[in-house]
Amino acid sequence: MRLTSLSILNYKNIAEAELSFSPKLNCFIGGNGEGKTNVLDAIHFLSFCRSYSSSVDLLCVRHGCELMSLQGHYEHDDGRPEVIHCGLKVGQRDSQRQGGTKKVVRRGGKAYRRISEHIGLIPLVMVSPADQALVSGGSEERRRFMDMVVCQYDPAYTDALIRYNKALQQRNAMLKQEQEPDPDVMLLWEEQMAREADVIYERRSAYITELVPLFQQFYDEISGGQEQVELHYVSHLQRGPLLEQLTRDRFKDRAVGYSLHGVHKDDLEMLLGGYPVRREGSQGQSKTFLTSLKLAQFDFLSRTGARTTPLLLLDDIFDKLDARRVEQIVKLVSGERFGQIFITDTNRDHMDAILSAMGGDNRLFHVEKGAVGA
């Protein structure tokens, strides 16, 4: 998949931009806070119908404006064209809340019945400083990491996730009731949670099993094979059927007011030398861990689902890395396995090194105060 051109109107600090891209390498250079990341975030929005950095759509609309519009012209690996449009309009009432925005996503001029139907059409992997939350943040960040990949190639997984979350919300609402919940109704929601959890667990488990050797290979290449890393999937379903756990612990759940067991508590254990990366890893090692994880994600997606080459977005990834690791990453992304790449940096030397290593077709953009120019 390739993005040939992008139109931006009122996206974050970018008032307006019309950009045409190289099919291989596109570099954005500028100071901090100028808008480089916002260009990559706009590309991410066209793939996932949401910002990479915020779950609140309203924050994507430029200050003082009532609408935001993005349009991308793509080309499939076989040459077929694709046009995607995403628009947000801020409501006249209660515009400070998520409910105050209206989102429309169109493919070829036709609006989707459900926005979730779009996920997976344009596979994409983004590496960003915000990924540090995968290591330092709560388990919800690591579940989102798994979900964003599996949803791109498995629509049935997306549907199961939606149904599971609906059943979870209903069960939690019953747990919070002052009066004793109807046990038969409670069981209906628990049975739905258990059915969907089996699907979610099986898909997550299969994904991580395939991802681990790819991840370890990338880490070895970037670090020079000097460090040992591990990634383990942890789930309540590894202890037995979820339905048994839910029915057994209703009293405990009622006491706290929410469901203590389920795939909404799943996690990924990230280890360096046998110890948690968050405690033992240096900034450079954590950055290497996360970059390797995302490159493995890319490799996995390119061979799964639609079997089309994902877009690769690299946002300021060289910060906190020594020269040798930067050199290894440059060698990796300049290889044939990667397709179209979008990269940002404040350091022109990094850009020149990448341009020199990759050669061929490329474009360099300068970003200043939200203005993007070639």
- Given 305, 324, 357, the domain boundary residue is 305
164 in a domain, yes or no? yes
- Give me the CATH number covering residue 69: 3.40.50.300
Mean pLDDT of 188-214: 97
Mean pLDDT of 350-366: 79
- Give me the CATH number covering residue 300: 1.20.1050.90
Indicate if 292 and 373 belong to the same structural domain: no
Mean pLDDT of 149-156: 90
Task: Print the SS3 string covering 181-237.
Answer: CCHHHHHHHHHHHHHHHHHHHHHHHHHHHHHHHHHHHHHHHHHCCCCCEEEEEECHH
Indicate if 328 and 298 belong to the same structural domain: no
Indicate if 269 and 191 belong to the same structural domain: yes
Mean pLDDT of 203-218: 96
Q: How confident is the model at residue 303 (pLDDT cuts 50, 70, 90)?
A: confident
pLDDT of residue 306: 62
284 in a domain, yes or no? yes
- Given 305, 337, 365, the domain boundary residue is 305
* Domain coverage including residue 180: 136-305
Indicate if 12 and 117 belong to the same structural domain: yes
Mean pLDDT of 289-299: 93
Q: Structurally, how many domains does the chain consist of?
A: 2
pLDDT of residue 100: 63
Region of poorest pLDDT, from 26-40, 47-61, 83-97, 344-358: 83-97
pLDDT of residue 308: 81
DSSP structural state of residue 22: -
Tokens at 247, concatenated: 């029915």
Indicate if 103 and 142 belong to the same structural domain: no
372 in a domain, yes or no? yes
- Given 305, 331, 366, the domain boundary residue is 305
Indicate if 156 and 300 belong to the same structural domain: yes
Indicate if 268 and 321 belong to the same structural domain: no
Mean pLDDT of 294-301: 92
346 in a domain, yes or no? yes
Percentage with pLDDT > 90 across the chain:
70
Indicate if 338 and 279 belong to the same structural domain: no
131 in a domain, yes or no? no
Q: How confident is the model at residue 305 (pLDDT cuts 50, 70, 90)?
A: low
Residue where the block lists tokens 């939350």: 133
Indicate if 276 and 373 belong to the same structural domain: no
Between CA 256 and CA 274 the distance in angstroms is 34
The listed range with the strongest mean pLDDT (196-210, 212-226, 286-300) is 196-210
Indicate if 229 and 299 belong to the same structural domain: yes
Kindly report, residue by residue over 63-102, the tens digit of the pLDDT. 999 999 999 999 998 889 999 999 999 874 433 444 567 8
128 in a domain, yes or no? no
Indicate if 297 and 317 belong to the same structural domain: no
Higher-pLDDT residue of 294, 303: 294
Mean pLDDT of 239-266: 96
pLDDT of residue 127: 92
Indicate if 296 and 148 belong to the same structural domain: yes
| Contact status, residue 222 vs residue 296, Cβ threshold 8 Å | no
